[in-house]
A and B are shown apart, each in its own frame.
Chain A
Amino acid sequence: MPLLEVEDLHVAYGELEVVRGLSFTIEPGEIITILGSNGAGKTTTLRCLAGLLPRARGRIEFSGGSIADMPAHEIADRGLTLVPEGRQLFPEHTVRENLELGAYRYLRRGRRAEFLESLEEVCELFPRVRERLGQSAGLLSGGEQQMVAIGRALMSRPRLLLLDEPSLGLAPIVLHSIFDAFAKLKARGLTLLLVEQMAWLALESCNRAYVLERGAIMLSGSSRELKSNARVIEAYLGAAV
């Protein structure tokens, strides 16, 4: 049974329908990439799945139950967590406090052991984060901030992690450590849905990918198939300029 099943999803801002009849599935343990140009509806899709935008219509089933129209915090409770575009850390708070806020939902019920376990997992995944635990998040470099943003999402112990443009604004040298982490997370049994403009990197690290154009799936297939697809090469992989 798929972990996430989206069928005929429509999302609109006022009259402007951005997602128009989107259908796709994610199996447990997969890394899925969504490719698409600006305005195709990628971020809108992720925000709708995470409960931050209402759907106009359509079905969203997550691990066997509908999560459509559910408030964002309940969706997070069920194990679907979004790493938002542009990281959105709490810059004045320390890295550790940012991570604690990711664990807020269960930490306030006193589940300290789970928190420490998750914290250890995050620090193992990103050793840089461990070094920076006591520092203000706002003072970290872009790459470190992205690690903390992913770490904060992981602290909620999700089963499905949605990542919106994790490579945004990062220097080439730190990209690999971010993408290497995705493979490790997959090995731990986590499922990932990745929206990414660095198409090469994304297709290298995922199992399957969907190409989103004008709010609907235009193309789908294994990452190997897509890497050799003419349209994908032209629009998303082609050497710049």
Chain B
Amino acid sequence: MTERSVPWLVGPTLAALIILPIFVQGTYYRFLGIVIFIYGIVAVGLNILAGYAGQFSLGHAALMAVGAYTTALLTKALAPLPFFAATGLHIWFGLVAGTLVAAAFGALLAVPALRVRGPYLAMVTIAFGWVIFKVLQEWVSVTGGDLGLSSIPKAQLGRYLFDTGSFYYVVLGFFVATLMLQHRLVNSDFGLRIIAIKHSEIAVSAVGINVYRLKVLVFVISAAFAGFGGTLFAHQQNYVSPDNFQFFSSVFFLLAVLFGGAGTLMGPVVGAAVLTILPEILQEFDKFRLIIYGCFILLTLYFLPNGVMGLLAVRSIRAPGPEKGPTLVDATSPNKPAKIVGVGLQLNNIFKSFGGLQALRDVNLRVEPSTIHALIGPNGAGKTTLINVATGFYPLDSGEMVINGHTTTLRSMHDAARQGIVRTFQTIKLFGNMTVLEHVLVGCARHSRSGYFDAIMGRKSARDEAARNLANARELISFVGLARYENVPANSLAYGHRRLLEIARALAVRPQLLLLDEPAAGLVAEEIHTLGRIIRQLKASGITVVLVEHHMELVISISDRVTVLDYGVVIADGPPAAIQRDERVIAAYLGTPHAAA
């Protein structure tokens, strides 16, 4: 997600920020600049968390406080030592320590807090902020209580002490570095994954990513930004007190993100700048100041619900590429996945109930490796529940799951995906306005060997990997016949195409067992024909396919074996021809044969 109109503004703006202060008398504007940069750094951290990953925190001022107090205490203790007085290293230790301690506090908060979502997460972070605030107030011997800590050493390099004038350039440098880091982060696999989490945690889990761990990681990164902002704040003000880090400051940061444009690169900066400068301009309105301030924010958010930068970042919906004839896949297509060892699945005596509803009763299913096994039955018979059980989404009440001869317990969907068991969803779960290509890349990311750090540093190994993933994703997209929609946001795809996209995303995980939940729903005959060929080709490449489907012609023509469920019980199991003639299946599911072909 890039704001295309922005990059050419960056150069001139940066030049102005460097050159203009030289011609301005006094320190007021430089001071204001420092404040904006520091708030900008914290807001960028919150933007990664709230704007990109969709996890809202109202405790960032407290994390900033952790950074500020850490460096204050550390540098005050070290400053008198001759070594540090001569080198100024204590300041730089303080910046690092404050950042790390804030990150550690972030982890401490995130590990329990991220078990909950949405408003609950926000509540937990508010409580965290409150606790920190109270500790700062009450632990007088360490924090100085309400009076806070004063005479925090000024920033220093060698024997040179920074004043506001020169510290401005230090903070500007850190600020620019922060923005570059944000840019790298959100444009890496990591960025794709966290944006995907905002749209569907379940679908992210289904491609083999541990959602909880990723969310904790995002929170820790975000906390580090806040802590770092806090350390700069401490050395700028030379004084910190609990009042600097009240609940309202946390609200301020979230407001800055929303006002500027959540999930945009420059949004938090614009937000922090406007919300910092505005009260200064409004000084002369005296007691009306806050009212005007509030109304201004209200009106902006009313007219620009996506924030200021959100207006620029609106993804223009690009027309699909040229039509590539019929999008049928040639059986000799070079796009077919490399040889895969299909997984055999056996479910023995499975029971699963929800409250009083017995969804699966003593179900036995035996899926041979590299075959197509259909699962049919009336609506509500338990087919999707069976898929949920087989992919670790629901735990079993009782029964046994055997994968390739080994009894296995799947703890989660990402656990299943890591064992080669991947699914699609009956109720389509895509990542909002992310493009078709980005969807498949999220799936590919599962197999990336290079870590997030390599990507952020722009290492060659990471770039090569990204290029490989891109090529692989494009192959899979054309394999399912969506090549011309590569750059179209998923939420503007037609219904049936969304289903095909789910298949492409699942294939990116390189499944050995693929469970398709009603892939033909919403497709017309010709498209179902194509789908049949796609599924057959998957089988030919070695993948075991479990197919839940109502479209009987498709089921009959491609399945090796069919299992019929009704009211959570297997009522028939056998080759398709026998199932078609089974009296019980006709009564429960097929009905009297229609004029259909």
**Which chain B residues border A238 with CB–CB below 8 Å?**
525-526, 529, 597
- Give the distance in Å from the alpha carbon of A83 to the alpha carbon of B392 in the complex: 34
- Give the distance in Å from the alpha carbon of A36 to the alpha carbon of B495 in the complex: 12
- Give the distance in Å from the alpha carbon of A235 to the alpha carbon of B527 in the complex: 8
**Which chain B residues border A107 with CB–CB below 8 Å?**
none
**Which chain A residues border B550 with CB–CB below 8 Å?**
169-172
Interchain CB contact under 8 A, A142 and B525: no
**Which chain B residues border A39 with CB–CB below 8 Å?**
320, 485, 493-494, 497
* Chain A residues within 8 Å of chain B by Cβ, number: 42
Q: How far is the CB of A14 from chain B (nearest CB, A)?
A: 3
Q: How far is the CB of B398 from chain A (nearest CB, A)?
A: 24
**Which chain B residues border A168 with CB–CB below 8 Å?**
495, 521-522
- Give the distance in Å from the alpha carbon of A178 to the alpha carbon of B223 in the complex: 55
- Give the distance in Å from the alpha carbon of A140 to the alpha carbon of B379 in the complex: 9
- Give the distance in Å from the alpha carbon of A38 to the alpha carbon of B524 in the complex: 7
- Give the distance in Å from the alpha carbon of A85 to the alpha carbon of B495 in the complex: 9
Interface membership of A239, Cβ < 8 A: yes
**Which chain A residues border B551 with CB–CB below 8 Å?**
240
Quick one: CB contact mask for B577-597 with A, threshold 8 Å, 1 for yes?
000000000001111001111
Interchain CB contact under 8 A, B595 and A38: no
**Which chain A residues border B533 with CB–CB below 8 Å?**
241
Question: A15-B318, A16-B488, A241-B557 are contacts. A172–B495 as well, Cβ < 8 Å?
Answer: no
User: Across the A-B interface, how many residue pairs have beta carbons closer than 8 Å?
Assistant: 133
Closest B residue to A203 by CB, please name it. B595
Interface membership of B380, Cβ < 8 A: yes
Interchain CB contact under 8 A, B553 and A241: yes
Q: How far is the CB of A203 from chain B (nearest CB, A)?
A: 10
Interface membership of B312, Cβ < 8 A: no
Q: How far is the CB of A159 from chain B (nearest CB, A)?
A: 27
Closest A residue to B496 by CB, please name it. A38
Interchain CB contact under 8 A, A172 and B591: yes
**Which chain A residues border B595 with CB–CB below 8 Å?**
200, 204
Set B427, B492, B594: member contacting A13, Cβ < 8 A: B492
**Which chain B residues border A197 with CB–CB below 8 Å?**
496, 522-525
**Which chain B residues border A17 with CB–CB below 8 Å?**
319
Quick one: CB contact mask for A220-239 with B, threshold 8 Å, 1 for yes?
00000000000000111111
**Which chain A residues border B524 with CB–CB below 8 Å?**
35-38, 197, 199, 235-236
Interchain CB contact under 8 A, B320 and A16: yes
Q: How far is the CB of B416 from chain A (nearest CB, A)?
A: 23
* Nearest 4 A/B pairs, CB to CB: A14-B317, A142-B379, A241-B532, A38-B496
A-B contact pairs, 14 of them (CB 8 A): A37-B527, A43-B495, A85-B495, A169-B426, A171-B550, A173-B588, A173-B591, A199-B525, A234-B526, A236-B524, A236-B525, A239-B597, A240-B528, A241-B528
B interface with A by C-beta (< 8 Å): 316-320, 377-380, 426-427, 485, 488, 492-497, 518, 520-529, 532-533, 550-554, 557-558, 588-591, 594-597
